[in-house]
Amino acid sequence: MKQQPGKIGIREYLSIAILMVGAKVTEDTPTALFQKVQNAAWMIPIITAAISFIPLFLLLKTMSLYQNKNLFSVIQKLLGKYLGFFVCFLIFIINVFSISFDSRTYTTIIRTFYFNRTPMVIIYAILMGVCVYGAKKGIQHIGSVAYLVVYYAVVFLFLSFVISTQDSSIQSLFPIWGPGKLEILKQSTLNLSLFSEFFLFALIIPSITSYKDFRKGTWIALVYVSIQLSVGIIIFICMFDVSLRGVGYPFHTAIRFISIGTFFPNIEIVFFVTWLMAAFIRFAVFLYINALMFGQLFKIKNFEFLIPALAAIYLLIGSIPESPYDISLQLKPILRSAIGPTFLVVSITLWLAALLKGEFKHEKNRGSM
């Protein structure tokens, strides 16, 4: 296989996508979904993935017109200089908060479950430090490491799921429709933010070897991640039953509970290490994309040098909320309800703009010529 310098192939892209979106099953997403629709929470990722298909399809279709251009250039081209800038800036701001709160959540998990005495700021700083180092290396390096890590991450995740089934009962999934079919459908549309990261991946299109790889990778990752999320939630529902409502981070509570026989009672450290590696990749990519956005917005060419500064700002924003409850119960729901619609509206607007401007026709003419 011929390697183009500075570009990533489909397998690297796929591993990045799986680690970034698939990691949601290990934080507070299962609990958040369970609080909404109780034991039908496992259906939400699948239905949401089906709904996300429409905006994602439109986005990919629009993006296919401008190969080798990233999302922000396309937005600015289609929506004009000022409106385009405004939309890009909005997406950037939402992502700033999203990365800040997410990284704070991860810090909280590490502190609560593994390093009780270390001050939060120190853990946060080290997490960010490692991710800055990764992000500064560029997307190609992140891609290679992601490809290295993804097998371990997935294998250990599913190993923990398999061991968790020892203490669970499948009956917890019933009554099958939970709070009712309509409610499930409603919550599925409200939780579009689950897969909003795919929207961000449109920013790294120029770094992917071919547009075809990007499209194929996106679909494969969407299907896989929705299944993984769904399976994870099923496992947690079967294990915790109704008490999942009060379990903040079910994955970490589960791995602290499970054991392999009596000889290996406390095995959480194995899963913790792989989870941590996945978290580093996740935030490295997140940081990289954010810096990329910032560079695009303000026309900064060597945006890699911005990464440490941006990371410091995210660290400060993430440190503002006093308790983890503020994040999980107040700020994140607001953010989630903002991300989903933005994702939907921007995708559809872009497609409409392209349609009205006749870009699709041009493309056809170009093709026939």
Partner 1 sequence: MKKTEAVCRILLFFLIVCLLTGCWDRQEIEDKAYVIGLGLDRSKVEGKIKVTMLLANAEVGSIQGGGGSTEKPREIVTFDANDFIAAKATGNSVISRDISYELLKIIVVSEEYAHDKDFIKKFYDILKDKDIRLDCYLAISKENASEYFIRNRPKMETRPHKYFQFMIDHGIDNGFIPDSTLFRFFKTLERGTDFYLAMYTTANKEKNPEVRSEDEYMAGQLNATGEVGATQFIGSAVFKNGVMINKLTGQETRNINILDDSTSIQDILVDIPDPFSKDKLQFAARIMKTENNKVKMDLKGQRPKIFITIPLKIEIISNPSMVNYTEKKNQLIVKKQIAAHIETLNEKLLKKTQTKFKGVPYPLSMYARKYFGTIQEYKKFNWGKSYQKADIHVKVDVEIIDYGKRTKKPPRVGA
- 325 is a contact residue toward partner 1 (CB under 8 A): no
- 326 is a contact residue toward partner 1 (CB under 8 A): no
Complex with partner 1: residue 67 or 169, whichever CB lies closer: 169
- 308 is a contact residue toward partner 1 (CB under 8 A): no
Q: Of 194-233, which residues contact partner 1 (CB under 8 A)?
A: none
Complex with partner 1: residue 127 or 310, whichever CB lies closer: 127
Whether 188 and 44 have beta carbons less than 8 Å apart is answered as: yes
Each residue 256-295 as x (binds partner 1 by CB under 8 A) or -, in order, gives xx-x--x--xx-----------------------------
Single out the segment in contact with partner 1 by CB under 8 A; choices: 53-61, 109-117, 150-158, 309-317.
109-117
- 174 is a contact residue toward partner 1 (CB under 8 A): yes
Find tokens 């949601």 and name the residue: 24
Residue among 367, 117, 110 nearest 249 (CA) = 110
- 167 is a contact residue toward partner 1 (CB under 8 A): yes
Instruction: Report d(CA 113, CA 105) in Å as an integer.
Output: 12
Choose which of 67, 118, 330, 365 interacts with partner 1 (CB under 8 A): 118
- Tell me how far, at minimum, the Cβ of 110 lies from partner 1, in Å: 10
- Tell me how far, at minimum, the Cβ of 153 lies from partner 1, in Å: 23
Instruction: Report d(CA 287, CA 128) in Å as an integer.
Output: 9
User: What residues contact 292, with CB distance under 8 A and at least 6 apart?
Assistant: 70, 203, 204, 303
The number of CA neighbours under 13 Å toward the Cβ of 314 is 35
Residue among 20, 29, 22 nearest 333 (CA) = 29
Choose which of 1, 5, 176, 269 interacts with partner 1 (CB under 8 A): 176
Choose which of 6, 90, 245, 316 interacts with partner 1 (CB under 8 A): 245
Instruction: Report d(CA 142, CA 13) in Å as an integer.
Output: 10
Choose which of 11, 35, 38, 96 interacts with partner 1 (CB under 8 A): 38
- 6 is a contact residue toward partner 1 (CB under 8 A): no
Choose which of 5, 81, 171, 369 interacts with partner 1 (CB under 8 A): 171
Give, in order, the Cα–Cα distances in Å from 305 to each of 133, 218, 273: 11, 29, 29
Single out the segment in contact with partner 1 by CB under 8 A; choices: 49-57, 148-156, 165-173, 360-368.
165-173
Each residue 44-83 as x (binds partner 1 by CB under 8 A) or -, in order, gives ----------------------------------------
- 253 is a contact residue toward partner 1 (CB under 8 A): yes
CB-CB neighbours of 271 under 10 Å:
22
- Tell me how far, at minimum, the Cβ of 230 lies from partner 1, in Å: 19
User: What residues contact 50, with CB distance under 8 A and at least 6 apart?
Assistant: none
- Tell me how far, at minimum, the Cβ of 273 lies from partner 1, in Å: 14
- Tell me how far, at minimum, the Cβ of 242 lies from partner 1, in Å: 5
- Tell me how far, at minimum, the Cβ of 223 lies from partner 1, in Å: 28
Token pair in block for residue 59: 């986005």
User: What residues contact 16, with CB distance under 8 A and at least 6 apart?
Assistant: 8, 142, 143, 146, 201, 281, 285
- Tell me how far, at minimum, the Cβ of 132 lies from partner 1, in Å: 12
Give the residue ranges of DSSP H helices in the chain: 10-22, 29-37, 43-65, 71-79, 81-113, 120-136, 139-164, 181-190, 197-201, 211-240, 250-257, 268-297, 307-319, 324-325, 332-356, 359-368
Instruction: Report d(CA 69, CA 261) in Å as an integer.
Output: 53
Q: Of 179-198, which residues contact partner 1 (CB under 8 A)?
A: 179-180
Choose which of 50, 54, 122, 313 interacts with partner 1 (CB under 8 A): 122
User: What residues contact 190, with CB distance under 8 A and at least 6 apart?
Assistant: 337, 340
Find tokens 């913790």 and name the residue: 272
Residues that bind partner 1 (CB under 8 A): 38-39, 112-119, 122, 126, 129, 167, 169, 171-172, 174-180, 240-243, 245-246, 253, 256-257, 259, 262, 265-266
